Structure 1
Amino acid sequence: MRLKTMALLLLSSLAIHSFAQKNRPFSKGEHYLSSLLDNSIVFDTANLVSGINHSRVWDTENAWRSWNIVENFTYGKDRGSLPMIADLNSLHPYFRDKIVELIRVCKAQGIELAVVESFRTHAKQAEYFGMGRKYTRSKGGKSKHQYGLAVDVVPVVNSIALWDDQVLWKKIGVAGERLGLRWGGRWRSPYDPAHFEWSGGITTYELANGIQPRVPASLANVYPCLGEEVERLQKYWDAWETEQAVSARNGSPETGMHGAVKP
């Protein structure tokens, strides 16, 4: 009888303990894990692979064909018959990110910037040179544009490019200089407030001989594949060089018409 009573007491104690464990408040860790289990999405791993679209393959060989271009007089100025490449993806990665930041900083001040021209071919540079000194004093290969290290921008208000607003240009120029960019608005001849460039102290002669500027050592980890990116860009630049050189020889402005024309 005593053994039976003890057995009943033991079973009762276990039942009470089990009930208490089930109904006691969760600790923070247990509550978090429980919420994950309750709210997690259950994936159908059997059909996961079949849902991936394998048909889309990024065409790295012809990515340059999708770069934005700008036609003559788009922003109210005569800039020659050959289209202008106006795509930030055509720029050196470090310089590109500087221009992205410049656009962001200006936008925060209520200034909308349009990219008029980024990378520029030798043929396009030669066209400018032939249009007179008010356009450029640099022949093909002598401009930072040919190395993806220069860009021309313009402030736009109500869809109108404001080329002659000196107060606005000064705000934009100072913003660019604070980012470590060289501003053409400081030049006397030719005065070129739309122009920003960066070369890390490398001259155009060195650039022409294949020497590339180095990004600050503190940012090296931000651009771990910089060499490969620049090498790929060089292939894209070469492709554009070939297209516009042929177009210039044929006297046709059709070069780059496969690209997206910016409004």
Structure 2
Amino acid sequence: MIDWTGQYVLVTGAASGIGRALALALGQRGALVTAADINADGAEQTALLCGGQPIVLDLADTAAGPAAVAALAAHHGRLDAVFANAGIGHTRRLLKADLDDPGLARLWEINMLGPTRLAQALVNAAEAGGWRARIVITGSENSLSLPPSIQNYGNGLYAASKHGVLILAEWLATETHNAKKPLDVHVLLPGGVYTGMTAAGLGPDPAHWPADMGIIMPARAAEICLQGIDLGLFYIPTHAHLMADMAGRSDGVAAATAALGLTKTP
């Protein structure tokens, strides 16, 4: 089990939801948390609750995340972990979506490229300073599949950003391992979690949400996340049904492979 006592940790998207729950859980375990969010009031409230410090951070600004990592590492002499949790929603049916919408750049930057920029900055700081760090990137059940419970909600572009962040996390883990870089990589894969973002899309009362989503509260998601880190897991799912949700894709590829008469190479 990881001893978080005295570790310097940055949590993005910390004003509410999973980010706030992570900040509180880490603070309870003795971590020294910097709660970052574009919502200054929310970040300040989270910092008060976890005994940490707040910073205002807009990850749509491509320089902001790396600058925050560098500043915190310089101030504390190290930065042990970054929880790259910040994310935004985007609900548009693809057949009607404006693919030239400037807001898509913000979606890609915050949900997908932002965590990669944070990882780059963190590994550079850790390598220069001679310590080992970790990054925990929040993906989604949408990173893995098209979940049956939300297929009528127009999540295609949001899901694309979360598919993207998963493969980037996988490549980060591969590259850091192969190059023996001082960075451990984990990816949190939440299913249905009651947050402001999910409530905005599905309504404020989770009792009316699809039952097969298996809604959990942010504190439970944070608990699972930290348990997964303790176990040294790369993939950290929050719901058992994520495996079943992927079956349609894997079964489809298996059926196509058989139909095409493809065989294993010797």
- Asked if Structure 1 and Structure 2 have the same fold, meaning a TM-score greater than 0.5 normalized by the shorter chain, the answer is no
| Larger Rg over CA atoms | 1
Q: Compute the TM-score of the two structures, normalised by the length of structure 1.
A: 0.23
Task: Say which structure, 1 or 2, has more relative contact order (CA 8 Å, 6+ apart).
Answer: 1
